[in-house]
Structure 1
Amino acid sequence: MTHYISFFMDEYNMSIFWRTIRISLIATLFCVFLGVPTAYYISQSPKKWRGLLMSITLFPLLTNSVVRSFAWITILGQSGIINTTLKNIGLISKPLTLLYTEFSITVGSVYLFLPLMVITLVGILENIDSEIMEAAETLGANRFIAFMKVILPLSVPGIIVGSILVFTGSLTAYTTPQLLGGNRNIMLATFLYQNATALGNWKGASVIALIMIAATVIVMKLFDWVAKRMDKRGEASA
């Protein structure tokens, strides 16, 4: 118990803990924001195109995480595509610091786990009857309002499951934070590895591992509570 108290009393450890939670939550929110419309578009596409779109979505998962991270290093680096383009069009005079920041870790995490969100949501959205959308439009709602009032609430179970997958994946990821975050933006998984291998501090590593497991379980319970609350509201409105 002393080791756990010492971990939470240490300012450096807590900065790593909150950074990991913060980046994982931000990555999850971005995956929801990008995944819902993408999954809806795929679910509404003709069947002959749906398989191709799903293959394109799944393609990043077939690429090694090290390769993907090095690709983002090429894109976000000081001589990368983004900085070079911005300099060529005159928007910046010196390169922006995009790499080895929390921003780069978040971008890498979203790219890494967005397919999981999309795949989860497509399965839910495909089972929603298209006539529900038509009925909403018949009653006077435009497509955006109908989507927000009808489709989005019905896709909540998929959003909950996808959010759990993205959050736990971002929380426990090692390669992406290590390569894109550098030594200034250490995450819990990187911190665990350093304690176990570089420092030989196996007790410290086991403490970090258990804290990561506990954080994952707490978040899963929180998402489950949110899902049950929304179900009760749905039953009440019915």
Structure 2
Amino acid sequence: MNRKTAVWLLIPAFFGVLVFTFFPLIEIAIPTFQSQAGFFALYTQFLKSSYNWTVIGRTFLIAVLTVIIVLILGLPISLWIGRQKKTVRQVLNLLILFPMLTNAVVRNFAWIIILGRDGIINKLLLSLHLIKAPLNILYTNTSIIIGSVYLFLPIMINTLIGSVAELNVEIEEAAAVLGSSPWHTLFKVIIPQLATSILTGCILVFAGTMTAYTTPQILGGNRHLVMATLIYQQAMTLGNWQNASVIALILIVISALSMWLMKRLSYRLDRRMTNA
């Protein structure tokens, strides 16, 4: 295929992306700059509010904690699955991805049953006499993090399994022969080889958590708003579409900037591994 033919074939895809991706963003952005008080007045007004900064901080904190917990849980699971035989690995991978076939609303309502004051966790803790009164887990930041971890853990595991399966076991055996402890081998030999896949999984989980709506809405309620639920409140409850557009664009900028920083870190790690 020559270059001219390739360009002509890419033109429909280019216009498709332009129409269905950038055009809606432009339509959202235009009203945010149409204010009598000034070009950036709506953004300035939004960022002056301490409550809005609390929502931004809560959203970012939940996303970061979700990434950390998902990585801590997903790494050992993926290491174990990746070392299994190919047939077993495929079956386990399907089992991990199976919950994603269920609607997120259904799964989050299941967590309401588990985390509620009369839920399974509180009943178990009360029966074991570990607590005297039911814990308030539901409709808190903790419940949002639990739901987000459950939602995005399969994505992290699925991202890491392929890379784990390609690891050279002989390098780990050589490290062990030279006196390296299992923990030292994990942090100095295995994790550096998985750095790119780990950062890819972190980017996917972070982006998904930052922009998630269903899980924060169902498990967080109106008392613990994140940016996605704040957008819904401004647009559908208050009917203030300008403010909703402002929040949406700020969320896009924060997510894009965070993912760009992680990609830069991934690029540097790739170069370091190549030079090594």
TM-score category of the 2 structures, normalised to the smaller one: over 0.9
Other-structure match for 1:140: 179
2:154 corresponds, among 115, 118, 134, to: 115
- Give the gaps of 5 or more residues in structure 2: 1-39
Other-structure match for 1:90: 129
Q: Describe how 1:171-182 pairs up with structure 2 within 5 A.
A: 171-182=210-221
User: Cα offset for 1:233?
Assistant: 4.0
- Give the gaps of 5 or more residues in structure 1: none
Q: Distance in 2 between matches of 1:20 and 1:46?
A: 40
1:158 corresponds, among 197, 216, 235, to: 197
2:239 corresponds, among 182, 189, 200, to: 200
For normalisation by structure 1, the TM-score amounts to: 0.96
Q: Contact (CA 8 Å) 2:196, 2:270: kept in 1 or not?
A: no
Q: What is the number of residues matched between the two proteins?
A: 237
1:169 aligned onto 2:208:
yes
Q: Describe how 1:26-37 pairs up with structure 2 within 5 A.
A: 26-37=65-76
What residue identity is the alignment partner of 2:143?
Answer: S
Q: Deviations over 1:202-225 (max 9, x none)?
A: 111111111111011111111022
User: Cα offset for 1:232?
Assistant: 4.5
Q: Contact (CA 8 Å) 2:217, 2:229: kept in 1 or not?
A: yes
User: Cα offset for 1:144?
Assistant: 2.8
What residue identity is the alignment partner of 1:24?
Answer: A
For normalisation by structure 2, the TM-score amounts to: 0.83
Percent identity between the two aligned chains:
46
What residue identity is the alignment partner of 1:107?
Answer: I
Other-structure match for 1:81: 120
Q: Distance in 1 between matches of 2:87 and 2:180?
A: 30
Q: Distance in 1 between matches of 2:73 and 2:222?
A: 29
User: How large is the Cα RMSD of the aligned pairs?
Assistant: 1.2
Other-structure match for 2:62: 23
Q: Distance in 1 between matches of 2:57 and 2:99?
A: 28
Q: Contact (CA 8 Å) 2:163, 2:194: kept in 1 or not?
A: yes
Other-structure match for 2:90: 51
User: Cα offset for 1:127?
Assistant: 1.6
2:144 corresponds, among 71, 96, 105, to: 105
Other-structure match for 2:269: 230
What residue identity is the alignment partner of 1:209?
Answer: A
What residue identity is the alignment partner of 1:55?
Answer: L
Q: Contact (CA 8 Å) 2:196, 2:269: kept in 1 or not?
A: no
Q: Distance in 2 between matches of 1:178 and 1:54?
A: 29
